[in-house]
Every structure is written in C-alpha cells, then in structure tokens.
C-alpha cells in the first residue's frame, strides 16, 4: 500500500480560512476515493501542517483527486509518498 504525507506552511492570518478549506478537502477526498485523511499541525511549529492519507491502492486516481482538490487550499504543498515494506 501507498501512504501520502503532504505538508505546507500557513501564516497565522490565514489559519481560520485554511481550517475551513482543509475540512472540505478531507471530506471531498474521502467522498471521491474512500480514503479518510487526517490533518495535523507540527508540534514545535504552529505554522506547519500536514495531510496524511494511508493505504491508498489506486495511486493514479488518488493523485488526480488530491491535486485537483488540494489546489483549493491556495498554498504550495509538498508531497512525500511512502510504500509499505513489511506488513
């Protein structure tokens, strides 16, 4: 399985706006792919956020949804993709 970790920085002045958009993003991704994501903030840096999506089987379809829906956040996002080595 494939796991996606998408992170980005957001200034405090955009946090309320971003929170609402992130909720919609997670709902939309789950509705379209069946993958429930999590939204987290870095413990030692309140401006760094991460979306986590685990156990993705259809990478191509998932990435298309993630790119399209993630654009609505309006922030540059960096994706790291990992695959399971041992189950």
Is this model's pTM higher than 0.85 or not? yes
CATH assignment of 2-83? 3.30.70.100
State the pLDDT at residue 14: 92
Please say if the pLDDT value at position 8 is more than 80: yes
State the pLDDT at residue 58: 96
Task: State the Cα–Cα distance between residues 4 and 20, nearest whole angstrom.
Answer: 21
The burial class, CB within 10 Å (0-12 / 13-18 / 19+), for 66 is: buried
Strand partners, 7: 50, 78
State the pLDDT at residue 86: 80
26-73, pLDDT tens digit by residue?
999 999 999 999 999 999 999 999 999 999 999 999 999 999 999 999
């Amino acid at each position: 399985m494939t796991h996606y970790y998408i992170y980005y920085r957001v200034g405090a002045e955009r946090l309320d706006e971003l929170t609402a958009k992130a909720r919609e993003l997670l709902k939309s991704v789950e509705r379209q792919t069946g993958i429930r994501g999590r939204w987290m903030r870095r413990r030692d840096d309140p401006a760094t956020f991460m979306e986590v999506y685990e156990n993705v089987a259809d990478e191509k379809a998932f990435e298309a949804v993630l790119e399209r829906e993630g654009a609505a956040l309006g922030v540059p996002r960096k994706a790291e993709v990992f695959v399971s080595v041992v189950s």
